[in-house]
Structure 1
Amino acid sequence: MDFAPSAKAADLHKRVSEFIATEIDPVEESYHRELRAQDNPWQVLPIIEELKAKARAAGLWNLFLPETLSNTDYAPLAELMGRSGIAPEIFNCNAPDTGNMEVLLKYGSPEQQKTWLEPLLEGKIRSGFGMTEPAVASSDATNMESRVVADGEDVVINGRKWFTTGVGHPNCAFIIFMGLTDPEADRHRRHTMVIVPIDIPGVTIERMLPVFGMHDEPYGHGEVSFTDVRVPAANVIAGLGRGFEIAQGRLGPGRIHHCMRAIGLAEKSLELACRRATTRTAFGKPLVNLGGNRERIAKARIAIDQARLLVLYTAWLLDTQGVGAALSQVSQIKALVPNMAIEIIDMAIQLHGGAGLTDDFPLAAAYAGMRSLRLADGPDEVHLGVVSRIELGKYKVGH
């Protein structure tokens, strides 16, 4: 196997890195400060559109698309973007839009692609993804109770979703909604995905959900109710009953993206920890020379490098052998990487003292994001269950 980037990917890595260093890093701190100062932080500040225009003009746009780069080539770029809270949107590579774009690219009809995919690819609109529900244990997606019911030339949608990522963004135009269609069908043929415009009757954003008191404006995670929402059957993606098939096709590459962004965040946190530990003194010594901090930093370096290699291996498997060959590895990285990042962010917070808990540094928000990721796209326990089932299957051990 070869993880060396292609010539195209190496060039893009250099250009993305330079763009972040020269265009994003100098303004990001002031951007977050200005956004927090707004009476209504659920808005797009002008600097975001300015940076998006610059990135697109530079050809640094939609880099996640399989027609642009392989998973292996894109992964290091996702790592670079993960160091920043705004870089993914600047390059039009932010979740859940990347996953939604991949769904529409792979499963969408020509009409769906023209109406919804093209504006997403152009960065004119944003989107949400509605799967998790507050009334059931959503770690088992077959528990889903929300309904998508065929009615003539329409489908009627009822239910309540939460942690619907992206619905706080003022440019969010639609939600890809997953709901139960046929309770009597095979358990993986019961559900349907459908495009639901966010501004039609019956769709209500009940509240934006805080995570450790933070709302991640202007993206956010919303609780959304759907009451007798009627959309054309043409909005159904790929056909009734194909929701699980689509979900599995969406989540393989998506988990590569999540994990590489998380590795970028861990790198940024380690960098902040090292700078703090070498420039602050206590009890007559630099912090780095107190309390085993050198060992902690060394172990953090090892943990990041180990995690990166496993993610790159998983990306290589997806590229060369497909999702089926990488099922265990996709779950391995999803269970491993957020926990690794949490430990490093926590160490960085400790080295920053009380300041690490404030929004003077990005560490508290980073911790909230990574703790959320241990639940998003399947909790640790589900992924560990997949890994153990595949491993024990080699020895013909029953479920």
Structure 2
Amino acid sequence: MKITDIKTFIMKGGNRNWVFCKVETDEGVHGWGEGTLERHELAVESGIKTLSERLIGRDPTEIERNWQIMYRHGFWRGGVVMGSAMAAIDIALWDVTGKIYNLPVYKMLGGAVRDRVRAYTHAGDLRGGWEAVDQGFTAFKTGGWDLAKNAFHEKDVVDDLHEKIKSMREHLGPDMEIMIDNHGRSRPSVANRQIAAVEEFDIKFFEEPVPPDNLDAMEQIRNAGHNMDIATGERLFFRYGFRDILHRRLTDVIQPDIAHTGGISEIKKIAQMAETEYIKFAPHNPNGPIATAASMHVCATVPNFLILETARDMPWHDKVQTTPITLKDGYFELPTAPGLGTDLDESVFAERPFIPSEGAGNAGYKENTGSWNAEDMSPADV
């Protein structure tokens, strides 16, 4: 069997565009992958085209060899754009191979160590928390900053966070698990005050307290003596980007994104690296259905797995799948069909064409207004 073509499709999902790739073979077996990267969809599409030139004519089941060819044969290595392009193709190769051997991907990864995969969703406020409860979730994540009120200003951010989490805990009860995502918006001193302000509310983890670029800043968080798990990793790429933070044990939970860090092949290795340091694995995944399915297969096989992120507020997740993966009572059920266990309906792509994101060439900058978007900036960045 040989790879004959690798095609790219970009579809407007919920609040972002999903970048899919389809690996086709000379025996009619195909596989789907995803390399969604908001605001940089066309760059990923170009990356997939570059990588596909190295793989056309090759055996799709030689997954590790193909991964190494993609990673090593272009001289330049790493980075989120090529990591996302590699991820899309790698996931599709696992899907193809599973279909060839009539096995779900998790079976090829060594088999499941759990019968289902726990998931959490997002809630911006108390109303969102109640919606998560109604959808059957037992955990959700909320933001660490009130952007409408605080924006670039640190004043009151600590008190505002305390009041929001206090209200959520009082109204939703002690059994709902709450996580906080700070999106790297704070300086270490501010992040430490934020964490201290919510410790009494039994928070599952505090994510990206500071920007991901400076491990010494993370060490300031670690050395503050908080009684709360710290999480990070969505903006680290490939196992080499995770080496130092894991070796120095600067986090309790690591969050690689399967769609950015080289796909199934690489994220499994990162999870194994974390296991040796007794660090939990909770993949970042506000992505489309293929990245979600691929993440779920990996999580089923990882002993140190904690919980999987999912964006279930997007109805197109299910509409674009021919056989949607099943989420019940806050858990993904493991599929029995071969490969990823789902397929995509290409006719749906036309209903939701690609819409370029604002500021696509300059993260945080709105070209139509000439202003910076506080959603993507922080006091730590300016």
The higher radius of gyration belongs to 1
**Greater relative CO, 1 or 2 (CA 8 Å, sep 6+):** 2
Q: TM-score, normalised by structure 1?
A: 0.24
Higher helix share: 1
Q: TM-score, normalised by structure 2?
A: 0.25
